[in-house]
Amino acid sequence: MAKDVMMTIVLFAASIAYFTFINWWLMDFQGLDYWYMFRSGAELSSGGH
Amino acid sequence: MKRLFEGRMRNKQLLSWLAVGVLVGALLLPLVISIPLLAEEFEDAALEQAAFAEETLGEDVPAQEIGYDVHYGDEGIVQGPPAPVTSDNENDYPRYNFESRVIIWVANQQHLYYGSFVLAVPIFVMIIEFIGMVTKDRAMAQKYDTLAYDFIKISITAYSITAILGGVLVFTFMILYPAFWTYMTKIFHPAMHIYVLLFLAESGTLYIYYYGWDAMREGLLKWVHLSMAVFLNVFGTVLMMLANSWATFMMSPAGVDAEGQYLGNIWLAVHNHLWNPVNIHRILGNMVFGGGIVAAYAAYRFLSAKNDEERAHYDWMGYVAMFIAVAFLIPLPFAGYYLMREVYAYRQQMGITLMGGLLAWLFIIQAVLIGALFLTTNYYLWQGMERMRGAERYQKYIKYMTFVLIVCFLVWLTPHTMVMTPTELKEMGGQQHPVVGNYGVMSAKNGAVNIIITTTVLSFLLYQRCNKIPTVPWARYGNIALWALFSVAFVNIIWLAIYGYYIPANVRVGLSVPQVVSTLSCLFIGMTINLFMMRGAKPTGPVEWGKISVRSQYALFMLATSFTWMMGLMGYIRSSVRLHWHVNEIMRDNSPWAFTHTIGFAANMISFNVLFFWVTLLFVFWLGSLGTKKAVVEKGRAAPVAALAPSTN
């Protein structure tokens, strides 16, 4: 049981790390800043057209 | 006797190898020829030649006019007349008492429908024939072979119709748009000659491939047969790419100067800015379309089947065709995204006309169709679970997936702005609805479509495992890994969609890439984990082909019709974005029909084309049903479908 809980935590953490990494890496690859909002402060924009 | 037989076999093998060698050699020949030509760089060579002639012969050489490529900016010697300036008269635009554009629209669309079908089918015939050849189970191998034969048989009649429609199209151009046609042939005549030769080669290969099916069914000859399929597809793909170059030249001309004068380098005219994005999009689109048509054919045969064996065979055929269609449907929106990106890169105004201006509402219709396609695909997969015992375990998830799909579908089709009367506009406080309007933006739509695709991947994953119980020792952790992968991917896609509202447009546009990769991660990682988990899995029962609801077969008709309608719609959008130009910014359309039709008229025209195509296709189906080769299905033996469907072992 404890092992199941541990594996669940590990696998979810791995998934979160993986998706965070691809978010950052793919934005960086395009010359864009993934952490833009956190660096400049949040401000609601239009969401595009 | 034995020696004689062995001797014959050796000769046969030798001949087979020789045939493969000839095929491979012929396949490589264009490459060998084109490498030195490409290296030479046509216009440089021409310029050097002119300089040399001028040096050696002095003033006797007439001055050659130099032009600059309208797109690439390269220098070149003018080798053709400027684009004709037409006017609204009977000489430039001969006409009947009917709108010429509508006639050319129908001729073009019908040729394209049939052309796409006959280009796509040989690709998956080749794949299925190959699967049949490498499958060790002889009964299964025979089944794949029969399936591939069934597919190519449908396309053979369609091939003749394609050729006839091609002729109709050329004559329609020559008769109704002579000035435009003359201009295009002056530029593209070398490519058009190659096109005709390739068409002859393709026809020859197709007929040998089809009629030689039985004669080449064993041993090395079978490999020769398969090599011919490769050959056939190379011809077909090059043909399509050449035809694409003419259509894309009209949108994003290159290889000519600003007056439309040809500069002597055919490669530049062919390799115009939108050529490759359209090539990729059309190859994928053709596969989806071809898969859809064959699935509809199988559904038609399923519904008219006289016994269980036939029903089982056509159920399986419909499933395989649907699988092919969906496999190519998944990357299709990304190819479309790439094409649009390149349209914007070429001319921003063209992109705006498409997505934010005159033609934007057609994209809303497209969104409805895409959503309907994915909903139907999921519905078919859920219906398909009825074929397998053990599927009940997963049926409880269907209602949640339906909910997610419908919510995303609604977001996906929400328009950015509404067409309204001044009173309605005033009551709503602007063109954008204060609440619903928030979902009519790209941030929300990108999130919605990625969730739709990821849910479809999940449906397929459940379908694959629904008659199996995994026995690998790490099965429990595998399931946790799949849960983690899919739930975090869903959260990530939604997070990126929301995040898009908080950052400026130039940063937001980049978020679509990680969203797509999140979806693809589920597809590839999820499928890989599932595949390994299902190794040696305990079956809960065989796949009972033929035991599926009639409703599922209507879903296949729905898929095929939606593909056809969407193809007509997107073709119209791509073509009408040129507005009042025959060749964008080079040759103006001065006919009385140089305006954009209303959405209603365009929709009626597309529906007419779809209806016309399907009526003629029913004739093709009927022909295909005459003297059908019956599938070899052992009685009482449930047929597993290796690689493409859940297996029973």
DSSP A5-32: HHHHHHHHHHHHHHHHHHHHHHHHHTT-
Contact (Cβ atoms closer than 8 angstroms) between residue A19 and residue B515: no
Question: pLDDT value at position B551?
Answer: 93
What is the mean predicted confidence (pLDDT) over B359-381?
90
Question: Which carries the bigger pLDDT value, residue B546 or residue B58?
Answer: B546
Contact A45 B492 (CB under 8 A): no
Under DSSP, the state recorded for B629 is P
Residue B638 — pLDDT band, cuts 50, 70, 90?
Answer: very low
Q: What is the per-residue pLDDT across B68-80, written as a single tens digit (0 to 9) for each?
A: 999 999 888 998 8
Question: pLDDT value at position B450?
Answer: 93
Q: What is the per-residue pLDDT across B193-249, written as a single tens digit (0 to 9) for each?
A: 999 999 999 999 999 999 999 988 888 888 889 989 999 999 999 999 999 999 999
Q: What is the per-residue pLDDT across B455-499, written as a single tens digit (0 to 9) for each?
A: 999 999 999 888 889 999 999 999 999 999 999 999 999 999 999
Which residue of chain A comes nearest to B501, CA vs CA?
Answer: A47
Q: Tokens in use for B434? A: 């204060």
Question: pLDDT value at position B440?
Answer: 83
> Mean pLDDT across chain B, nearest whole number?
86
Distance from CA of A44 to the nearest CA of B (A): 5
Question: pLDDT value at position B88?
Answer: 92
Question: pLDDT value at position B648?
Answer: 39
Which residue of chain A comes nearest to B476, CA vs CA?
Answer: A4
Least confident of B212-216, B242-246, B357-361, B641-645: B641-645
Residue B57 — pLDDT band, cuts 50, 70, 90?
Answer: low
Q: What is the per-residue pLDDT across B31-43, written as a single tens digit (0 to 9) for each?
A: 555 555 554 555 5
pLDDT at residue B309 is higher than 70? yes
Q: How far apart are CA A2 and CA A11, in angstroms?
A: 14
Contact (Cβ atoms closer than 8 angstroms) between residue B331 and residue B287: no
Question: pLDDT value at position B84?
Answer: 94
Q: What is the per-residue pLDDT across B4-15, written as a single tens digit (0 to 9) for each?
A: 556 665 666 666
Contact A19 B508 (CB under 8 A): no
pLDDT at residue B424 is higher than 90? no
What SS3 state is found at B500?
helix
Least confident of B41-45, B54-58, B532-536: B41-45
Element (H, E) at B539: strand B538-539
Suggest the residue from B490, B511, B516, B520 to mutate for an interface test with chain A (most A CBs closer than 10 A).
B511
Question: pLDDT value at position B50?
Answer: 59
Question: pLDDT value at position B419?
Answer: 77
Residue B30 — pLDDT band, cuts 50, 70, 90?
Answer: low
Classify B264 in phi/psi space as left (phi over 0), alpha (psi -120 to 50) or beta: left
Question: pLDDT value at position B16?
Answer: 64
Question: Which carries the bigger pLDDT value, residue B255 or residue B505?
Answer: B255
Q: How far apart are CA B234 and CA B226, in angstroms?
A: 13
Question: pLDDT value at position B268?
Answer: 93
Backbone CA torsion sign across B210, B213, B214, B216: positive
Residue B52 — pLDDT band, cuts 50, 70, 90?
Answer: low
Residue B106 — pLDDT band, cuts 50, 70, 90?
Answer: very high
Q: Which residues contact B105 (CB under 8 A, 6 or more apart)?
A: B572, B605, B609
Q: Tokens in use for B551? A: 């409703």
What is the mean predicted confidence (pLDDT) over B535-562?
90
Distance from CA of B363 to the nearest CA of A (A): 13
Contact A48 B500 (CB under 8 A): yes
Question: pLDDT value at position B42?
Answer: 54
Contact (Cβ atoms closer than 8 angstroms) between residue B435 and residue A43: no
Which member of B442, B492, B505 has the closest CB to residue A19?
B492
Backbone φ, ψ for residue B97 (5° rounding): -80, 55
Residue B633 — pLDDT band, cuts 50, 70, 90?
Answer: very low
Q: How far is CA B340 from CA B289, B337, B442, B599, in A?
A: 20, 5, 13, 21
Question: pLDDT value at position B15?
Answer: 67
Give pLDDT tens digits along chain A (49 positions).
788 899 999 999 999 999 999 999 999 999 998 988 888 765 555 555 5
Q: How far apart are CA B342 and CA B160, in angstroms?
A: 35
Nearest to A22 by CA among B196, B492, B490, B21: B492
CB-based contact, B485 to chain A, within 8 Å: yes
CB-based contact, A1 to chain B, within 8 Å: no
